[in-house]
């Protein structure tokens, strides 16, 4: 059975997140995100077996710069884009932005603006 987390689950969840920190990407404050929903899966005896927080994220992908842009022009455009996207996220209650890009020059640019490179696999599931 799956149910929404309740205040009585907070201590277990905190302890379980800490115990699983080596195998999970976890922001310890994830369950405080405005768009977060925490689910509890119960075993046959009705005891919590697994807890998970899900929240909205903003995903940036498919960056398409005009061919022939100078590095300075591209940097200016990227800066403007990132500022606009951050504002959209803030207004929407989204607390994380994910960005997918293969261009190493862009990696250096965004890492200098607060993005962190994730060192674990990210998987996608398309909901139809």
Domain-by-domain residue ranges, the chain? 2-54, 58-111
Residue with tokens 């689910």: 39
Distances (CA, A) of 82 to 14, 24, 71, 106, 121: 33, 27, 16, 12, 23
* Model confidence pLDDT, tens digit, residues 34-79: 999 999 999 999 999 999 989 999 999 989 999 999 999 999 999 9
Cβ-contact 98, 61 below 8 angstroms: no
User: pLDDT by residue (tens digit) across 83-93?
Assistant: 999 999 999 99
């Amino acid at each position: 059975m799956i149910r929404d987390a309740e205040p009585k689950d907070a201590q277990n969840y905190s302890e379980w997140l800490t115990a699983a920190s080596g195998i999970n990407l976890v922001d310890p404050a994830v369950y405080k995100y405005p768009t977060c929903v925490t689910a509890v899966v119960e075993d046959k005896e009705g005891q919590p077996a697994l807890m998970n927080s899900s929240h909205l994220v903003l995903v940036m992908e498919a960056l398409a710069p005009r061919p022939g842009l100078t590095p300075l022009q591209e940097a200016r455009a990227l800066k403007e884009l990132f500022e606009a996207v951050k504002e959209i996220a803030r207004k929407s209650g989204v607390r994380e932005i994910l960005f997918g890009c293969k261009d190493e020059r862009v990696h250096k640019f965004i890492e200098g603006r607060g993005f962190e490179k994730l060192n674990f696999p990210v998987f996608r599931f398309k909901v139809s």
